[in-house]
Amino acid sequence: MTSSFYPPQRTLMGPGPSDVSPRVLGALSRPTIGHLDPQFIQLMDEIKGMLQYAFQTENELTLPVSAPGSAGMEACFVNLVSPGDKAIICANGVFGGRMKENVERCGGTAVMVDDAWGTAVSVDKVAAAFAEHPDAKLLAFVHAETSTGAVSDAAALCALAQQHNALTIVDCVTSLGGIPVEVDAWGADAVYSGTQKCLSCVPGLSPVTFSPRAVEAIRNRSHKVQSWFLDMQLVMGYWGGDSKRAYHHTAPVNALYALHESLVMLREEGLEAAFARHREHHNALVAGLEAMGLSMAVPADQRLPQLNAVNIPEGVDDTAVRAALLNDYDLEIGAGLGALAGKTWRIGLMGHACNRRNVLRCLDALESVLTAQGAAITAGVAAEAAAAA
């Protein structure tokens, strides 16, 4: 008969989930209460307020979707895309392709703007796409591409969309809490994220926020949203501002305890301090990797501090290295995805996992494993370079 499961104690330095702090795990396991309990309603209000802080927005419609980031993405598309709508979709990694899937499953048409994986979205190309397709109703792009580690200029892209009277959907799954996400300053209309990246909460929830302009578009839809579960007009009835909450679905109560605690921790540290911490340890990691002789996959000015794509040296066995890190060092780093499979590793420094101890642990372990594999790297200098960075 199957017995209880005791997971190993990993250090999670992949593309997410990231290490969850003991405070958040402690909150997760507090006693479950009902999803309509007055005390739970208060918790929901506090989560909403702290998500507004994290997203830097005053958007009333700000809440965590009760499912992972992929469902948050889908929530944005199904509520804002109607059959026949044209949407400009930027693809510079895996998640742009997934956005295209979403538009098409909503009966819309996707105009693709492709950029090389591992680089930012080209603002010029998007401008050209708007010039060619002035009837586009929507622009969607990924702020922080989890599959490549590249950041795009969200402010410039949102400004372009506004010039063309188009709504924006912005993927901030990996950016929220790690680099500035300025929803109101950008003028973004629908933004989704995940809890398992720089918020260092458990995976399973997707914070989203919708601008008043997006809410108006949702209210003016001529037919129902194709998803009942993700229909924001219904979800609003449960998460809405008035004290009488209409039952929509059973909220994931304990996961919301955890999200609440992770947001309390983010507020305690402060956004600016969190961003500075991510930059600091990113710089140390890059210095150590480069001292070892490894090279980064993304140009310096387009790099995400929280997700570091490293080129796999020629002749090195990708799978064997990651297996050795996991099995011998309990250290998880990420594989390349899609076009970058076998070509890069993705080293996460996200939220609670973004600290000096993890930078040094990762450099040490990687150095040992690569040396054992006979890779041409410079040993014994990484930690010192990281400390000096």
Task: Looking at residues 58 to 87 of the shown chain, list those that interact with a second copy (rule: CB under 8 A).
Answer: 66-71, 74
Q: Decide if 72 contacts 199 (C-beta within 8 A).
A: no
**Residue 261 makes contact with a second copy by CB under 8 A:** yes
Measured from the CB atom, is 219 or 249 closer to a second copy?
A: 249
**Residue 242 makes contact with a second copy by CB under 8 A:** no
Angle between helices 271-292 and 253-269 (to 10 degrees): 90
Phi-psi region of 326 (alpha: psi -120 to 50; beta: other; left: phi over 0): alpha
- Per CB under 8 A, contacts with a second copy among 147-186 are none
Alpha carbon distance 94, 55 (integer Å) = 23
Measured from the CB atom, is 267 or 356 closer to a second copy?
A: 267
Measured from the CB atom, is 70 or 109 closer to a second copy?
A: 70
Write down the least CB distance from residue 18 to a second copy, Å.
8
- Per CB under 8 A, contacts with a second copy among 295-314 are none
Write down the least CB distance from residue 137 to a second copy, Å.
19
Measured from the CB atom, is 23 or 133 closer to a second copy?
A: 23
Window contacting a second copy (CB under 8 A); options: 97-105, 122-130, 289-297, 369-377? 97-105
**Residue 357 makes contact with a second copy by CB under 8 A:** no
Owner of token pair 């918020």: 199
Write down the least CB distance from residue 202 to a second copy, Å.
4
Neighbours of 315 (CB within 10 A): 9
Write down the least CB distance from residue 160 to a second copy, Å.
26
- Per CB under 8 A, contacts with a second copy among 311-350 are 326, 332, 337
At residue 113, what are phi and psi to the nearest 5 degrees? -115, 110
- Which residues, at least 6 apart from 375, have a Cβ–Cβ distance to it below 8 Å? 313, 315, 316
The site that binds a second copy (CB under 8 A) totals a number of residues, namely: 80
Give the strand pairing for 138-142 and 86-91: parallel
Alpha carbon distance 322, 345 (integer Å) = 9
Number of H helices, E strands in the chain: 14, 13
Residue selected from 60, 101, 182, 280 as contacting a second copy according to rule CB under 8 A: 101
Write down the least CB distance from residue 127 to a second copy, Å.
28
